[in-house]
Amino acid sequence: MLGIDRFVRRHRAAVLAVWLVALAAAVPLAMRQSDHLTGGGYGVPGSQSQRVESAIGRDFAAGSRATLAAVVVPARGASAADVRAALARVGAAAGATAHVELSARARGVALAELRRDGVRTLVVPLTVDVTESDAPDVATGLRDRLGVGDGPTGPVALHLIGQSALWAGLQDLTKRDLARAESAGFPIVAIILLAVFGSLAAAALPLALGLVSVVVTGALIYALSMAMEMSVFVTNMASMIGIGVAVDYSLFVLARYRAEVRAGRSPDEARAVALSTSGVAVTFSGLTVIVSLAGLWMVDTTAIRSMALGAILVVAVSVLAAATLLPALISLLGRRASTPGRLFAALHRVRRSWAPRRPGSTRPGAPVPPDFWTRWATAVMRRPGRALVAGALVLAALATPALWLSTTDGALRQFPAGNETRQGFEAARAVTGPGAASPVRVLAPRTQAGAVAAALRADPEVERVMPAVASRDGARALVSAIPRHDGESPQAKALVARLRDRLPAGAEVGGTSAGLVDFHDLVDGSMWKIAVFVLGLSYVVLLLLLRSAVLPLKAVAMNLLSVGAAYGVLSVVFGQIDAITPPLVLAVVFGLSMDYEVFLLSNIRERWRATGDTRSAVAEGLAASAKTITSAALIMTAVFAVFVLTGVPSIQQIGLGCAVAIAVDATVVRLVLVPAAMELLGRWNWWLPAPLERLLPSRGLEEALPA
């Protein structure tokens, strides 16, 4: 890092110019980052549902075409002429949009229903000549031309339904939610930074890094989405992680820089020390977060992998910005980055003039009284057993509801109750039935078609069975059934499980419900692999960093308590949570908690190496780290909490889970459990078996840093 500092100091203008060009190029791409994202990505390669979907598109006539329909919902008092005008709008918009049309036959059927039944909701099928994977662009263009989602446009409301319409609606919803979250998150972070640094110039640095990291990552997401399938939730994930991480990393470096300046170093010396200490820790922590998130790639599904990729990208950009852009900006600002602003300095003088003086504090040579965090650490370590039990009881109480945690999934349930897309689907269900839009599809040898149809009719969840359709080669048959409940309901998912148990060998069950069942089974079956990977990684990283076999074990156990507390709160608040939430919260929390673990324990170990006294090392290390850790955790918690106010339940759950876990980790764990446990362990904190001592690198992280 010293080499990077020297390079940045010599080529500051060039570094700033490169970042400025990158930002300027990224802005227009970041504004379009959701254009090619998909609301799907929940397919499971190799599963029954995926095999059925592939076979339908490949072997059955017209099976590969997307399904899209317009829902015409007249308001009270609307006339037949209003409905006919709405149908004309649909026809005109479809005619102006590539790959979709309102056929004369479909329009004629709708007008006949209007004459026969009077003014009521109509579901009008549209003809689409592209596959389901290409249809979201068609649905997006049609939504724009119809003004869907812009609010009431007259006596007749228009909606679009179908899988592609669902994806297009999710794109609009996540884009609006992201804009609201970012517009609320940055001002909150700015207020906290102003309170921490007391300087507008210093507070602006972490904000600038957060903005740059999110924008550059948005451009990378846009570029990647052109070449691979990515979930619409990747933008929210990247923004949620990026704002907090970029601000936290720059906060760690800037806090150390300001401390070194206050200690009497020149700005250049202070910056070099900050980069070679906190800068190294930030890089180390960032790489750990990236590897931790990479564990989510063990779940072979686009939705989770793309969300993990978005988080990985923004962490990588944040680390790069903290290592290059931040020192350049610090160098540019000089002492303005380390001194309070005039207003804050004046307020500080007023506060000190009103504060009561300690007796004897003005005598020359009088001892400086310990600060709050030193007194706190000393108090905790005076009765470590009580502190450990009290902290553990708090976390156990929060985590207990996680024992009854249950998960669910489904795209339509990601929309708030009053959302236009959900209203359209519910209006269509009232006309066609709850399960009409999500039939169960059974693929079987043609000789078994009769037996499959009979088994479907015998199930009480099946409302009606459609005639069997033969494949192009005549070898197989596709039998579709309409369930009595919608495809995301527990009843429809239970139907899939029964059919897979009862149908003849060779028959495979697909459709919306089957896809959700396969996705849920995949995520549940992968949780143990993700947990082993993340826990094992965290242990190895801290083992290398701290050269202790005991401290990493303690850290992993305490992080598990934080994750358990997050799961417990989610269970109480939401009841059922989305299937993607537990693995994402686990990976994100374990990755981010490493920031605080590295920052705190490396400070403690540095002092222990100098004194050999665990109690004083913990007290001094905690005193030196606590303000920065609590400030960083407050920022991270605030950013995650902002996303709880969005309209998508899965993002709300990830935001709440991470906010709770980070808040608990930075308070109960770091400020109570860590000092109490280290006091009880004594010299066992630093125990390392001789064989491991010979295998590990000869120097820990802070031992590689300059004095």
Confidence of residue 704 (pLDDT cuts 50, 70, 90): very low
Which of 45-59, 269-283, 349-363, 505-519 shows the lowest mean pLDDT across its residues? 349-363
Chain-centroid distance of CA 587 in Å reads: 10
Q: Are strands 68-74 and 156-161 parallel, antiparallel or unpaired?
A: antiparallel
Q: How many residues does the chain have?
A: 707
What percent of the residues of the chain are helix, what percent strand, and what percent coil, each to the nearest 5?
70, 10, 20
Residues 492 and 510: beta-carbon distance below 8 Å? no
Confidence of residue 545 (pLDDT cuts 50, 70, 90): confident
Residues 6+ apart with CB under 8 A from 216: 22, 23, 26, 30, 317
Helices (H), 226-279: 233-262, 267-274
Inform me whether the pLDDT recorded for 565 exceeds 50: yes
Residues 442 and 456: beta-carbon distance below 8 Å? yes
Helices (H), 275-370: 280-294, 302-320, 326-333, 342-354
pLDDT in tens, 569-578: 999 999 889 9
Of all residues in the chain, the percent with pLDDT exceeding 90 is 33
pLDDT in tens, 150-183: 766 679 999 998 878 887 888 788 878 878 887 8
Q: What is the DSSP string of 635-674?
A: HHHHHHHHHTTSS-HHHHHHHHHHHHHHHHIIIIIIIIIH
**Residue type at position 557:** A
3-state SS class at 67: coil
CA gap 4, 279 in Å, rounded? 10
3-state SS class at 65: strand
pLDDT at position 72, please? 93
pLDDT in tens, 98-128: 899 999 999 999 999 999 989 999 999 999 8
pLDDT in tens, 370-400: 677 778 888 888 888 999 999 999 999 999 9
pLDDT in tens, 575-597: 889 998 999 999 988 888 877 87
Rounded to whole angstroms, what are the CA distances from 264 to 258, 295, 623, 660?
A: 10, 44, 20, 39
H/E stretch holding 549 reads none
pLDDT at position 20, please? 94
Residues 508 and 444: beta-carbon distance below 8 Å? yes
pLDDT in tens, 174-227: 878 878 887 888 888 888 888 877 778 888 888 899 899 999 999 999 999 998
Here the tokens at position 35 are 């254009």
pLDDT in tens, 411-420: 787 888 788 8
Inform me whether the pLDDT recorded for 445 exceeds 90: yes
> Sheet of 100-101: strands edge to edge?
100-101, 122-128, 68-74, 156-161
pLDDT at position 702, please? 45
| CA atoms within 13 Å, Cβ hemisphere of 84 | 9
Secondary structure (H, E, C), 147-214: CCCCCCCCCEEEEEECHHHHHHHHHHHHHHHHHHHHHHHHHHHHHHHHHHHCCHHHHHHHHHHHHHHH
